[in-house]
């Protein structure tokens, strides 16, 4: 009874775990990955902040309140004694930056909004990529676990037969040990696969906040159109981010050039004097004189232009890097696809035929039990390997679609 309990315990634990699992389809995982992510929420808040700041980007500076005592004698016979020119003055000053500067600040704020929006798109795409890869890993680990379990059960059904053959003297005693070794090898493989499942579940929980997820539904298509995908390289999140950096730098150039225009300020004040003298009212205006632009404003303009040129070169370098990465990703997908098809079309039929022939030969008494078990184990290992090749193909295809096309849909 104790042996039966320990044999059934893994099955009971698996059933209990499955009852608590939440089924998740591939498309559902992609949608959930962008709906409740701290990183995405942080990007959304930064975008909101940029929009709030932009509303005040071209506004005038706050006015300044000015108050004090004017023209109080500091020497002579009227030392510290108010005279006709002494007044307590209170006034207001308003700085008025030139219109070009205000427009440049508004343009810089708009460029900051574009940058924050591009960062949000990049974060969403990264979340969808991570969730998609984790879901695919989980789905194929589940299939591999099923194959390993089926092979293990089939081999375990032959264990009593091996023992009876040894007891009857028709098989060597060492054959029962070989059968047990085969069982342990398949169990080790299944244990590793279950560890891969748990790893994939943990990775998926990072993006969709679902513990012990169960991948359901069909996997994404292994087919892609490289020619169609290559036309979207300039619209990937990385390139869009680089382009927003260019616009920020160009807005910085406009802001630096605005210093060539004069700024203004106006002020009004009211002075209260001794009653016998009467009060005073003053209005003043000032204007900046950019007379030494070659030594002051022009160096800043040239520095801003250099920053804009650097941003353009960085965007070009990013595009070349992306083109090279795209070529490598397409090559990886094609290689994985061919290996998967070759194993499915050629190796799998051979392994299946061998397993069937060994079973038939054993039933007819022309093959040993170890030959049958070896064929079953080889077939299971091959099926798991084919699943791994299919997984590599599907992951490569999904990576291509998510990286180079689906972000723009």
**Which CATH number does the domain housing residue 140 bear?**
1.20.1600.10
- CA atoms of 192 and 200, how far apart (whole Å): 12
pLDDT in tens, 95-132: 999 999 999 999 999 999 999 999 999 999 999 999 99
Select the more confidently predicted residue: 307 or 184.
Answer: 307
* Percent of residues in the chain assigned helix, strand, coil, to nearest 5: 70, 10, 20
Domain, as residue range, for 149:
24-61+99-261+314-408
Q: For 72-92, give one letter per residue: b (16+ CB within 10 A) or e.
A: beeeeeeeeebeeebbebebe
Q: Phi/psi zone of residue 71: left (φ > 0), alpha (ψ -120 to 50 degrees), beta? A: left
Say if 189 falls within a structural domain.
yes
Q: What is the DSSP string of 166-224?
A: HHHTSS-HHHHHHHHHHHHHHHHHHHHHHHHHHHHHHHHHHHH--TTEEE-SPPPPS--
Say if 308 falls within a structural domain.
no
- Residue 391 sits at the vertex; the CA angle it makes with 387 and 395, to the nearest 5 degrees, is 175
Label residue 9 by pLDDT band (50, 70, 90): very low
- CA atoms of 85 and 72, how far apart (whole Å): 8
Q: Where are the alpha helices (H) located in 209-296, listed in sequence order?
A: 226-230, 237-257
pLDDT in tens, 218-277: 999 999 999 888 888 888 999 999 999 999 999 999 999 999 999 999 999 999 888 888
Say if 180 falls within a structural domain.
yes
- CA atoms of 206 and 213, how far apart (whole Å): 11
Say if 282 falls within a structural domain.
no
Q: Which two tokens stand for residue 246?
A: 């260019």
- CA atoms of 167 and 36, how far apart (whole Å): 63
Total number of domains constituting the chain: 1
- Residue 382: CB atoms within 10 A of its CB come to 18
Contact between 266 and 96 under an 8 Å Cβ cutoff? The reply is yes
Q: Which two tokens stand for residue 72?
A: 């109080």
Handedness of CA 309, 313, 318, 322 (dihedral sign): positive
Round the average pLDDT of the chain to a whole number and report it: 84
Partners of 68 in the β-ladder: 89
Q: What is the mean pLDDT of residues 327-342?
A: 93
pLDDT at 132: 94
- CA atoms of 148 and 373, how far apart (whole Å): 13
Distances (CA, A) of 229 to 119, 300, 326, 335, 372: 22, 42, 9, 18, 48
pLDDT at 171: 52
Burial class of residue 159 (count of CB atoms within 10 Å of its CB; 0-12, 13-18, 19+):
middle
Say if 7 falls within a structural domain.
no
- CA atoms of 285 and 104, how far apart (whole Å): 24
Distances (CA, A) of 179 to 153, 156, 171, 184, 368: 13, 9, 12, 9, 11
Lowest-confidence segment of 93-107, 179-193, 350-364, 379-393 by average pLDDT = 350-364
Distances (CA, A) of 188 to 80, 129, 159, 191, 283: 99, 31, 18, 5, 91
- CA atoms of 132 and 34, how far apart (whole Å): 12
Say if 34 falls within a structural domain.
yes
Say if 1 falls within a structural domain.
no
- Residue 128 sits at the vertex; the CA angle it makes with 22 and 341, to the nearest 5 degrees, is 85
Say if 385 falls within a structural domain.
yes
Local structure of residue 61 (DSSP, 8 states): P
Contact between 245 and 315 under an 8 Å Cβ cutoff? The reply is yes
Percent pLDDT > 70 in the chain is 83
Q: Which of 285, 234, 237 lies closest to 264 in space, CA to CA? A: 285
Q: What is the pTM of this model?
A: 0.78
Select the more confidently predicted residue: 370 or 185.
Answer: 185
């Amino acid at each position: 009874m104790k042996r039966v309990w320990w044999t059934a315990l893994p099955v009971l634990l698996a059933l209990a775990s499955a009852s608590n699992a939440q089924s998740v389809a591939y498309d559902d995982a992609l949608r959930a990955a962008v709906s409740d992510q701290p990183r995405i929420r942080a990007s959304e808040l930064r975008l909101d902040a940029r929009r709030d700041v932009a509303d005040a980007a071209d506004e005038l500076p706050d006015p300044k309140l000015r108050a004090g005592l004017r023209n109080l004698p500091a020497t002579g016979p009227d030392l510290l004694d108010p005279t006709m020119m002494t007044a307590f003055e209170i006034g207001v000053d308003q700085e008025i930056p030139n219109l070009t500067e205000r427009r440049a600040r508004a343009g810089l704020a708009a460029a900051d909004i574009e940058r924050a929006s591009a960062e949000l798109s990049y974060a969403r795409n990264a979340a969808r990529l991570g969730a998609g890869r984790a879901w695919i890993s989980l789905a194929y680990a589940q299939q591999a676990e099923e194959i390993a379990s089926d092979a293990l059960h089939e081999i375990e059904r032959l264990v009593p037969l091996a023992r009876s053959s040894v007891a009857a003297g028709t098989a060597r005693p060492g054959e029962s040990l070989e059968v047990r070794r085969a069982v342990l090898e398949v169990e080790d493989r299944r244990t590793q696969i279950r560890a891969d499942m748990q790893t994939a579940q943990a990775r998926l929980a990072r993006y969709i906040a679902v513990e012990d997820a169960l991948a359901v539904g069909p996997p994404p298509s292994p087919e892609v159109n490289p020619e169609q995908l290559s036309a979207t390289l300039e619209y990937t999140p990385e390139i869009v981010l680089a382009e927003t950096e260019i616009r920020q730098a160009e807005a910085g150039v406009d802001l630096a050039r605005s210093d060539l225009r004069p700024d203004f300020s106006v002020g009004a004040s009211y002075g209260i004097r001794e009653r016998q003298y009467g009060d005073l009212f003053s209005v003043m205006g000032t204007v900046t004189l950019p007379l030494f632009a070659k030594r002051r404003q022009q160096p800043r303009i040239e520095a801003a232009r250099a920053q804009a040129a650097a941003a353009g070169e960085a965007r070009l370098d990013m595009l070349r890097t992306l083109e090279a990465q795209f070529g490598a990703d397409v090559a990886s997908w094609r290689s994985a696809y061919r290996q998967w098809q070759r194993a499915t079309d050629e190796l799998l039929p051979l392994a299946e035929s061998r397993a069937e022939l060994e079973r038939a030969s054993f039933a007819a008494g022309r093959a040993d039990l170890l030959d049958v078990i070896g064929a079953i184990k080889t077939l299971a290992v091959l099926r798991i390997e084919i699943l791994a090749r299919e997984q590599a193909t599907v992951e490569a295809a999904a990576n291509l679609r998510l990286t180079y096309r689906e972000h723009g849909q």
